[in-house]
């Protein structure tokens, strides 16, 4: 991964100064950087670290006095996280998927694998599967029958793509992620207790025996381009139509997306978030960590669901929501403030009661 400062600056489209021919081999935090590292110090808070470390080159905040830190070369980043994305493309050591198709992989003879594939040991590709060019598949991953996947697939160790799922270009499946487990859909011959409670919002109901009959998932999962699915995360297949994930949507680790969900483009779903069956999620929706959307709910474009929020009702486009149950963020913050003061409020009301109602006066 050795690159000159000039090359890196050019790749990032950023200004550089000093010895542009200097070679760096990897990135490091400023304080632990060795002489051949490119220190990432895009905020003044890293100034002390720069002084403590041994880096000769760094990416710095705009206007930093690079020579004052004893550096030989520097690149300047007006938007640090954006620069970080660029640096991480250039300097990423990447992953070793081997060369060609490993002799201990099993590729069904009717499967079609595009040029340039690198496939590890104990990978299984099912009948009639079609995989685009430049696929990289880690050990023990599996792709089932009749799956169709575009170009530039990265499927890490143990990831699963179940039958008939259709996935666009540049999909990344992290280790042990799952696309296309069966939907969780069962029915009782008579309306179930849960259906009663939902209808009445009351616990009063007839108790009766009930056996669950399975509704098989006849649909699959359809995923756009540039989607990523995190480690141990799962997207269930649809009942009749496919579960759909739009292009550009990113899903973190240990997330779950239920059957029939229709999720839009460029969404971001953070760790341990969940979307229950048949929910519809717009474009550019952000679901923060541990948040949840109830089944059959509609969430509009550009909605932001805060950390651990529980969405039980439809959310119009553009809204930011928080809490359990989720409300507009402003309302929730007001509720939380009032809640912190609630014990004191109760004490005040008790005082008022005492002052207003003489003993025996209040019937």
Among residues 52 and 197, whose Cβ is nearest to its own copies?
197
Q: Which of residues 205-224 bind its own copies (CB under 8 A)?
A: 205, 207, 209-218
Pairwise CA distance, residues 264 & 243, whole Å:
11
Rounded CA separation 359/363 (Å): 10
Do the strands 37-41 and 106-107 form a parallel or antiparallel pair, or are they unpaired? Answer: unpaired
Interface residue with its own copies, options 127, 199, 296, 313 (CB under 8 A): 127
Is residue 92 near its own copies by the rule CB under 8 A?
Answer: yes
Count of residues engaged in binding its own copies, rule: CB under 8 A = 146
State which of positions 177-196 bind its own copies (CB under 8 A).
Answer: 178, 180-182, 184, 186-190, 193-194
Kindly identify the residues of this chain, within the stretch 26-85, that bind its own copies according to CB under 8 A.
Answer: 26-29, 32, 40, 79, 81-82, 84-85
**Is residue 278 close enough to count as binding its own copies by CB under 8 A?**
no
Q: With binding defined as CB under 8 A, does residue 362 bind its own copies? A: yes
Contacting range for its own copies; rule: CB under 8 A; set: 14-22, 47-55, 69-77, 289-297: 289-297
- The one catalytic residue in 26, 102, 156, 259 is 259
d(C-alpha 156, C-alpha 176), whole Å: 8
If the CB atoms of residues 66 and 97 are measured against its own copies, the closer one turns out to be 97
**96 sits near its own copies (criterion: CB under 8 A):** yes
Q: Is 259 one of the catalytic residues?
A: yes
Q: Which of 17, 169, 225, 266 binds its own copies (CB under 8 A)?
A: 266
Nearer to its own copies, 67 or 341 (CB): 341
Task: Tell me which stretch binds its own copies (CB under 8 A): 15-23, 47-55, 64-72, 135-143.
Answer: 135-143
* Of the candidate residues 54, 151, 225, 319, the single one contacting its own copies (CB under 8 A): 319
Report if residue 167 touches its own copies, rule: CB under 8 A: no
Nearer to its own copies, 23 or 333 (CB): 333
Residues labelled catalytic: 259
């Amino acid at each position: 991964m050795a690159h000159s400062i000039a090359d890196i600056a050019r790749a990032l489209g950023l200004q550089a100064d000093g010895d542009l021919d200097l070679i760096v081999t990897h990135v490091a935090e400023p304080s632990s950087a060795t002489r051949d590292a490119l220190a990432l110090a895009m905020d003044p808070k890293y100034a002390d670290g720069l002084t403590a470390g041994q880096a000769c080159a760094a990416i710095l905040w705009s206007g930093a006095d690079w020579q004052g830190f004893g550096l030989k070369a520097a690149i300047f980043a007006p938007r640090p996280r954006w620069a970080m994305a660029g640096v991480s493309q250039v300097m990423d050591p990447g992953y070793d998927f081997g060369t060609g198709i490993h002799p201990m992989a099993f590729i069904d003879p009717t499967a079609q694998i595009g040029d340039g594939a690198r496939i590890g040991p104990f990978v299984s590709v099912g009948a009639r599967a079609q995989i685009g060019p430049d696929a990289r598949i880690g050990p023990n991953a599996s792709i089932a029958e009749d799956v169709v996947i575009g170009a530039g697939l990265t499927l890490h160790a143990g990831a699963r793509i179940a039958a008939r799922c259709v996935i666009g270009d540049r999909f990344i499946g992290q280790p042990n992620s799952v696309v296309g487990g069966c939907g969780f859909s069962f029915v009782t011959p008579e309306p179930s207790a849960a259906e009663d409670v939902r209808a009445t919002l009351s616990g009063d109901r007839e108790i009766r025996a009930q056996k669950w009959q399975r509704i098989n998932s006849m649909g699959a999962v359809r995923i756009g381009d540039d989607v990523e699915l995190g480690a141990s995360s799962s997207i269930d297949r649809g009942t009749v139509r496919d579960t759909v994930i739009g292009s550009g949507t990113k899903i973190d680790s240990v997330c779950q997306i239920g059957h029939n969900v229709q999720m839009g483009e460029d969404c971001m779903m953070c760790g341990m978030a969940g979307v229950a069956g048949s929910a519809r999620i717009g474009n550019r929706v952000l679901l923060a960590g541990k948040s949840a959307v109830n089944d059959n709910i509609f969430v509009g474009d550009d909605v932001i669901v805060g950390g651990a929020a529980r969405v039980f009702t439809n959310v119009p486009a553009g809204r930011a929501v928080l809490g359990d149950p989720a409300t507009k963020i402003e309302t929730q913050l007001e509720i939380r403030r009032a809640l912190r003061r609630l014990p004191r409020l109760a004490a005040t009301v008790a005082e008022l009661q005492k002052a207003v109602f003489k003993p025996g006066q209040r019937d």
